[in-house]
C-alpha cells in the first residue's frame, strides 16, 4: 500500500446549504491517482448514502473505486457526462433483497396470496419488519404507482379485542400502534366503512382502503427501517487509474432518496 500524503478537507454540516441535504465530507482538486482516500463518517446524524464524485479528467473513464480494497463501488456517469459517481447505500438486503423506499426505509411487494396474519408474520420473521403503513400522501403515491388496482394487505386492522378500534402493525414483537380515525386515511370519501364482524383487516387497491376478511388471501407489502451507513473510518482505493490526478468530492446524505442508476 502506498503512503502518499493525502490532502484532507472536511466540510462540516454547518456549511451545508439549507436547500440541500448532501454534506461534503471530503474534497481534493488534485487527488493523486495512486493514493487512497480516508475519511470519517460524521456522527452528528444517521447517513444513508455516500457518493464519491470524480470529475474533469479522462482518467475517470475507466476508474473503479474499492472500499477497503475489496468492495467495488457501484459506478455510473452523471447526466452532464463530466462526472462519474460511485455510491454506497445503506443496506436493504436482509435475508431477502428489499428495494429502497426512501433513504431510511426498505420495502418489498410480496407476490404471495396469503391471509393478513400470515403476511404480518412473514414481514416480521423474514424481513425483521412489518406490514407497510400508509401514513401520508407520499406513501399513497408510491404504493399507487407500483400496485395500481391490485388488492394487497397493508399493516392496518381492527385490534383483536375491540371492534372499530384500529392499529398499525409494528412487527410481531412490538405493540401495535394505535390509529385514530382522524389520522391520515384513504377510506372512501374519508368515511370509515360500516363495521362488519367478518371484516377486520384493511386492504388497499386503487389508492383506497377497504375492510376485508382477514383470512382472505392477498398479496402484501412489507417494510422495515434501513440501516444507516456504519459510523467510523472509510478508506477508498481507486484502480484503473491511468492519469496523474483527478478531482474528487465525497458527499453523504441523511435524508435524500437514493438515486438508483
Ligand atoms: C380497482 O379498480 C379496478 C379498475 O377500475 C376495479 O375493477 C376494481 O374493482 C377496483 N378495486 C377496488 C377494491 O376498488
Ligand atoms: C373499545 O374502544 C372504545 C372506543 O375507543 C372504548 O370506548 C371502549 O372502552 C373499548 N372497549 C374495550 C373493551 O377496550
Ligand atoms: C504515485 O504516482 C506519482 C505520480 O503521480 C509517482 O510519483 C509515485 O511514485 C507513485 N507512487 C506509487 C507508490 O506508485
At the top level of CATH, which class does the domain 13-90+228-253 belong to?
A: mainly beta
In this prediction the pTM is 0.64
Task: Find the 242 Cα to ligand 1 centroid distance in Å.
Answer: 58
Q: Hey, which bits of 169-212 come out as E strands?
A: 177-179, 201-205, 208-212
pLDDT tens for the chain, 261 residues long, are 232 222 222 222 222 233 347 899 999 999 988 889 999 988 888 888 888 998 866 655 678 888 887 778 888 777 777 788 888 776 676 445 677 777 678 889 999 999 999 999 999 999 889 999 999 998 999 899 888 899 999 999 999 777 789 999 999 999 999 999 889 999 999 888 888 989 999 999 999 999 999 999 999 999 988 777 888 888 998 888 767 788 999 998 876 444 433
Considering the four listed CATH numbers 3.10.100.10, 3.50.50.60, 3.40.190.10, 3.30.930.10, the one that applies to the domain covering 95-225 is 3.10.100.10
Domain boundaries, the chain: 13-90+228-253, 95-225
Nearest residue (CA) to ligand 2, atom 10: 162
Query: What b/e sequence results for 202-237 when a residue is b if at least 16 CB atoms lie within 10 Å of its CB, and e otherwise?
Result: bbbbebebbbbebebebbbbbbbebbbbeeeebebb
Please report which ligand is nearest the Cα atom of 243: 3
Task: Indicate which atom in ligand 2 lies nearest the CA of residue 163.
Answer: 1
d(CA 22, CA 185) in angstroms, rounded, equals 32
Our answer on whether the CB atom of 2 is closer than 6 Å to any ligand 3 atom is yes
Fold match flag (13-90+228-253 vs 95-225):
no
Euclidean distance between CA atoms 249 and 86, whole angstroms = 11
Convert the pLDDT of each residue in 26-41 to its tens digit. 999 999 888 899 999 8
Q: Say yes or no: CB of residue 150 within 6 Å of ligand 1.
A: no
Handedness of CA 155, 198, 163, 211 (dihedral sign): positive
Amino acid at each position: 500500500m502506498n503512503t502518499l500524503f493525502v490532502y484532507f478537507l472536511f466540510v462540516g454540516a454547518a456549511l451545508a446549504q439549507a436547500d440541500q441535504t448532501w454534506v461534503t465530507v471530503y474534497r481534493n482538486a488534485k487527488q493523486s491517482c495512486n493514493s487512497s482516500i480516508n475519511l470519517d463518517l460524521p456522527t452528528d446524524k444517521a447517513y444513508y448514502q455516500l457518493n464519491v464524485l470524480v470529475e474533469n479528467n479522462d482518467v475517470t473513464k475507466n476508474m473503479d473505486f474499492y472500499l477497503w480494497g475489496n468492495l467495488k463501488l457501484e459506478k455510473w456517469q452523471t447526466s452532464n457526462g463530466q462526472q462519474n459517481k460511485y455510491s454506497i447505500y445503506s443496506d436493504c438486503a436482509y435475508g431477502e433483497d428489499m428495494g429502497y423506499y426512501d433513504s431510511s426505509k426498505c420495502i418489498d411487494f410480496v407476490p404471495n396470496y396469503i391471509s393478513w396474519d400470515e403476511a404480518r408474520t412473514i414481514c416480521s420473521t423474514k424481513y425483521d419488519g412489518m406490514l407497510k403503513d400508509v401514513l401520508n400522501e407520499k406513501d399513497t403515491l408510491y404504493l399507487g404507482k407500483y400496485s395500481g388496482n391490485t388488492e394487497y394487505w397493508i399493516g392496518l386492522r381492527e385490534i383483536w379485542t375491540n371492534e372499530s378500534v384500529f392499529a398499525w402493525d409494528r412487527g410481531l414483537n412490538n405493540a401495535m400502534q394505535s390509529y385514530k380515525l382522524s389520522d391520515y386515511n384513504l377510506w372512501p370519501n374519508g368515511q370509515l366503512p360500516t363495521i362488519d364482524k367478518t371484516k377486520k383487516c384493511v386492504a388497499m387497491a386503487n389508492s383506497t382502503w377497504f375492510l376485508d376478511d382477514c383470512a382472505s388471501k392477498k398479496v402484501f407489502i412489507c417494510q422495515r427501517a434501513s440501516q444507516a451507513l456504519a459510523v467510523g473510518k472509510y478508506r477508498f482505493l481507486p484502480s484503473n487509474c491511468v492519469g496523474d490526478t483527478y478531482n474528487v468530492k465525497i458527499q453523504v446524505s441523511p435524508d435524500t432518496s437514493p438515486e438508483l442508476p
